[in-house]
Structures are given as structure tokens and as C-alpha cells.
Amino acid sequence: MNEIRFPLPDVGEGLTEAEIVQWRVAPGDKIALDQVFVEIETAKSLVELPSAFEGVVAELLVDEGSTVDVGTPILVIRADDAAPDASAPAPATVPAAAHPATTAAAPPSGTVASHAPVAAEAGGAVLVGHGSSGHTATRRKRHPSPGGAHEHLAAPPPPAAPAPHGPAVVAAPRPDPGMPVIAKPPIRKLAKDLGVDLSRVTPTGPIGDVTRGDVIRAASQVTVFRNIQTPEWPTDREDRIPVKGVRKAIAQAMVQSAYSAPHVSVFVDVDATRTMEYVKRLKASTDYAGVKVSPLLIMAKAMIWAVRRSPTVNAQWTDDEIIVKHYVNLGIAAATPRGLIVPNVKEAQAMSMLELATAIEQLTLTAREGRTQPAEMQGGTITITNIGVFGMDTGTPILNLGEVGIVALGTIKQKPWVVDGEVRPRFVTTVGASFDHRVVDGDVASRFLADVASIIEEPALLLE
């Protein structure tokens, strides 16, 4: 048997270090090819690492909670002679769509080089040099078996016929209270983080299992921060929280943005009554069945439309030039239990309303699970932050590093508003925005925000 030392790979562009969050194996355990053996936290997200080798775990070289540099050996495996040849060179090129991650840094002398895990199209772990050449299902289909977790459950009903205007989401009946809840481990962890009791969630999965969307729908935004109940004062006088991982990355980016780009902010109050009516109609449409629709979707569409009319707000400043981008990678600031991150919807300008709604929902769910990959947070061109979900009217957002514009959507609530000379109750919101004044002049900033406000006030303008 060969002894292999597995180094910490670079799972993102330019990663230098990561924290060992949780080991999934222990010394003496057998480990299979592509089996997830450890969960790490980078400066951007949580990542599961699959094994590039088969064999037996000989030693865990790093304790949980420790931060180590890329290339540092973290695991020793005694590999069978029949295991894949670890010294064989990896393919020279890897299809970008299937393998977005980079390979690991060169390991120290005496170790065997490994390859960084990347995500397959089906969501499973694939290793560069060990992955498939095309789309491969990485999860086994679940079948009821004697003695298994499903032996007391009735067979799932036959699939329902699709609706005339799109697929229908058919909720499985709530199992008897005495029956076990069917949910995958990541779903159970998400429910725990959000304070959701799975036994009270109506499942919509094909075999009566609870899905990620079921958990999110059962939880309100504020439960992410445990703000519903007021805890007792801790017995310890102080807490000392290490500055690392996502929090360290947030701090560095905010300081660099705030003190390198001269911010200027503008605000406007908007009658959002027609937006609320439009959202209500979309929710009732069969085309949007099972898709989350909110005023944030209309705001996103408004920003994309306004960028076409004021393209310099969708740019990047360098010391030598201003790069105006004629595409929109729309960043959505997402509050997660691990901190604020800003993944972005790629090529949002080419999406229909339904496609954009689906993309935003998927992006948000992935972010709240802590599974956003580094590539999903790179290349953003302009950002939206929805502070209205916290009941805030407005704010002065700090630019996402590398961008020159960010828009904040405030809470939408009924207020007295003058319409045709009469005071009427209307749904009103405040939209604020910050810009890099080196790139965006005051007149451009004002025109851009006025355009955004005009769409919020009258969404029918999007049809022109």
C-alpha cells in the first residue's frame, strides 16, 4: 500500500488559505474515490472536498478550526495498489463548464500532488483528472428497501400531468406525525440554521422529502439572525471572535472600497403601488408556479433597463482607464449566517423576467446555505441590496469592490401620497444609490436613479 499525503487545494482563483470546518472521516475509515472527506471554509464560502484516491485514512494532519495555507498536507491515505495512479498527470485542459475551479498549488516535496474539487453540472463533486467527460449523475436514485428509512412510507404517487402553461409543483401529503421526516443532511442543516422545525414543513419532493425551497419558504428572513427572541445576558463578560474566513474578506473589501472610491449617494421616494399589483399578478400566473416573485425582481429588471440608458454606471475604474461593460452581471447582496456575500447573476441583461426570477431565487437559496462558490461572486458589474426586508426605509450602501454603482431598495409600505391633487394611501418606497464619483457624475447618477424609479412606479414601461 502506498502512503499519500493530500495537500489543501486551491478551490478558487487566488485562494491562499482555508479553515478546516469539519472532518467527514476518521483514522481507520475506508475512503472511496470522490468521497467527500472534509468541509473547509474559504474567504468566500463553504466547500466540500472529495478524495482523489481510494484506500484507508491513516492520519488527519490538521485539527478542526485550524486555518492552513494552500499546499499544506491535511490528510494521509494508505492507498491500495489498484487505486488510481496519483502521480499520473492531469489532462492539459478541462472543459470550463464542467470544471470551473483551478488545480491545487504544488505540494511540498515528498507529497503526492492532488487536484482541486469542482462542481459537476448535477451538483456532485468531480475532481480534475478524475471527473467524467460529460454530464454525469452523481447521486444514486433512492429506492425503498427493507429495513431502510422508507419502509413505512407508501409508494410515491404517479407524477402529475404538466399544466398547460408550465410544470406544476405537486406537494406530497404530509406524512403521519409518527413517520420520520425525509430530508437530506444539507437540508437538515439549513433547517437548523434557520430555526425551522422540519416536522411542521409540508414537503414537495418527489418521494415526500423536504426540499431546500420548502425550508426557505417556512422561514422568515430575520430567523437567519435569531432576532425573534431576546436571549439572556451571557455569563461571560466578553466574546472574542477571530477575524477570519468570510468575515475577514468582508472587512478587507469594505475598507478598500470605502477609502479608495469617493462615494456619492442619491435618494428618491417612489409610488410602488403598480409594482405591488404587478407582483401580485405574476404570483397568480401559472408560468411562475413554484418560483419566488417579489418587488426585488422588478427592481432588478429596472436596473438592467436603466443601465442601457446610462451605461457608465455599469463600469470599472482602473488607474489607466474606465472599462464600460455592455453586459450586466447583477450582484445580489445576500445576508447569510456567515456574513454578507454578493453573488451575481451572469448575463442578466439577456434573461426574460421568468429566467431572472429563477436565477435570483437559486442564487439566494445557495447563498443562505453557505454553498456559494467563488466563481459566482466574481465578475459582478453592478449590485442591488434589499434592505427593505429588514424594515429599513433607506441607507447609504458601500460599493461592492471593483464596481461603480450599487442600489438599495427600501421597505415598501402604505403611506399617504398625493395623487391628482388628493391624498390617498399608496405603497411607497425609498430607493437609494451610491456611485464612484470618479466615474459617475451627478447628472448621470440622477438620471439612472430616476429611470429605476420610473419602472418601479410604472412596470409597464418594461414592455416598450
Residue 155 lies in a domain: no
- Looking at residue 464, its pLDDT comes to 59
Closest-CA residue to 36 (of 18, 48, 46, 20): 48
The reply to whether 266 and 198 lie within a common domain is no
- Looking at residue 182, its pLDDT comes to 84
What percent of the chain is helix, strand and coil (3-state, nearest 5)? 25, 25, 50
Rounded Cα–Cα distance for residues 377 and 386 (Å) = 17
The letter for the amino acid at 382 is I
Residue 137 lies in a domain: no
Give the H or E element holding residue 445. Answer: helix 442-457
- Looking at residue 52, its pLDDT comes to 79
Residue 116 lies in a domain: yes
Q: Which three cell numbers stand for residue 402?
A: 471593483
Q: Which three cell numbers stand for residue 213?
A: 425551497
The domain that holds 70 is classified in CATH as 2.40.50.100
Tens of each residue's pLDDT in the chain, 464 residues:
688 888 888 776 567 788 888 898 999 888 888 888 888 887 667 788 888 788 899 889 988 888 888 888 998 888 765 444 444 444 433 333 333 333 343 444 444 444 444 443 334 433 333 333 344 444 444 444 444 444 434 444 444 444 444 444 444 444 455 567 888 877 887 787 777 888 878 888 887 888 887 887 777 543 444 454 567 888 888 888 888 877 788 788 889 898 889 999 999 999 999 999 999 999 889 899 888 899 999 999 999 999 999 999 999 999 899 999 999 999 999 887 777 889 999 999 999 999 999 999 999 888 887 788 888 889 999 999 999 988 899 999 999 999 999 999 999 999 999 999 999 999 999 999 999 999 999 999 999 999 999 999 999 998 75
Residue 150 lies in a domain: no
Give the H or E element holding residue 368. Answer: helix 353-368
Closest-CA residue to 173 (of 155, 189, 197): 155
Q: Is 143 one of the annotated active-site residues of the chain?
A: no
Residue 237 lies in a domain: no
Torsion of Cα atoms, 45 then 46 then 51 then 52, to 10°: 0
The domain that holds 193 is classified in CATH as 4.10.320
- Looking at residue 46, its pLDDT comes to 73
SS3 for 105? Answer: coil
Among the options 115, 143, 263, 437, which is catalytic?
Answer: 437
- Looking at residue 441, its pLDDT comes to 94
Phi first, then psi: give them for residue 74, nearest 5 degrees.
-120, -15
Domain count, the chain: 3
Closest-CA residue to 330 (of 363, 293, 371): 363
Domain range enclosing 217: 185-225
The letter for the amino acid at 232 is E
- Looking at residue 315, its pLDDT comes to 96
Classify strands 382-386 and 405-409 as parallel, antiparallel or unpaired: parallel
DSSP string, 41-74: E-SS-EEEEEPSS-EEEEEE-S-TT-EEETT-EE
Cα dihedral sign for 274, 285, 362, 310?
negative
Evaluate if pTM is beyond 0.85: no
- Looking at residue 291, its pLDDT comes to 87
- Looking at residue 229, its pLDDT comes to 59
Rounded Cα–Cα distance for residues 419 and 437 (Å) = 35
Domain closes at, from 127, 153, 171: 127
The domain that holds 423 is classified in CATH as 3.30.559.10
Residue 44 lies in a domain: yes
Residue 121 lies in a domain: yes
According to DSSP, the residues that pair with 316 across neighbouring strands are 323
Cα dihedral sign for 267, 271, 272, 275?
negative
The reply to whether 198 and 118 lie within a common domain is no
The reply to whether 266 and 217 lie within a common domain is no
